[in-house]
Amino acid sequence: MRNLIQFFIKNTFFFLFLLLEVFAFFLIVSNNSYQRSAFISSSNGFTSSILSTVSNATSYIGLKHENQELAKENAMLRSKLVESNLWTKRTFKSYSDTIRHQFYTYKEAQIISNSFQNRNNFLILDKGSIDGIETEMGVISSNGIVGIVNDVSDHFCSVISILHKKSAIDAKITSNGYTGTTYWNGNNYTLGELKNIPSHTIFSKGDTIVTSGNSAIFPPEIQVGYITEYNLRKGQNFFDIEFEYSVDYNKIHNVYIINNMHKEEIQKMKEGFDED
């Protein structure tokens, strides 16, 4: 405290000078309309700039929360899509009733760990068994397919990425409806391969590849990628097709975990076929 007092005493003339300058400036602005107008205009611009900066900073700080809220809303909306429901037609004489059954539900999640340059890639998500997550649930992003849940703890789950040597996804070409199986080529994380498309089918570069809906994991019509190259070698019955993934696996942050509400029933039916 003593040092502070000594500082003011030592610089008394300097502070007196500043005070007189402020007072003179006040008199000029108060008694001259032009100077007063210019000062008000300048101060408004300065204040607006400060408020804009503060507003932008506040918006940036709240961006993560906004993204989480949007992800929750998107999950809810996806659950209401036509592709997420099973439509059945019941007819008895003149009575006809169309009933829509919920088939898929979606749970938003965030990626907390992601690999995309290894031969076998995995992701870790911030949702686990307490959130209703189970193994063999599909995972997608807003742009397309991501992978399949492999292991689950209370609060987290691991996902086998589509960029994995064991990843094989049933898919189809939208232009002709023919189905095949997608694999990762193991080299470039942006490119995959579509196998088992017969040699007599017709398609072209740029055609879209989507999930076929033949599995109990993914709904139909989820984007997988776009055909970039294809070749039919002499004597072969199936095309060699290369495609570009619709998802940039280096940049994904928010995903959706898919729950097929009828998966157990479908699996029991398939087990019946296997027993025969």
pLDDT at residue number 29: 55
Q: Please indicate, yes or no, whether the overall pTM of this predicted structure exceeds 0.85.
A: no
Query: Are the beta carbons of 28 and 35 closer than 8 angstroms?
Result: yes
What domains does the chain contain, in order, with CATH numbers? 79-88+101-262 (2.40.10.340)
| pLDDT confidence band for 268 (50 / 70 / 90) | confident
87 or 219, higher pLDDT: 219
Q: Is the pLDDT of residue 207 over 70?
A: yes
Tens of pLDDT, residue by residue over 139-170, are: 999 899 999 999 999 999 999 999 999 899 99
- From start to end of the chain, where are the E strands? 85-92, 95-102, 104-114, 122-125, 138-141, 144-152, 157-161, 169-173, 179-184, 191-195, 208-211, 223-231, 240-245, 254-260
pLDDT at residue number 101: 60
| pLDDT confidence band for 94 (50 / 70 / 90) | very low
62 or 137, higher pLDDT: 137
Q: Is the pLDDT of residue 90 over 50?
A: no
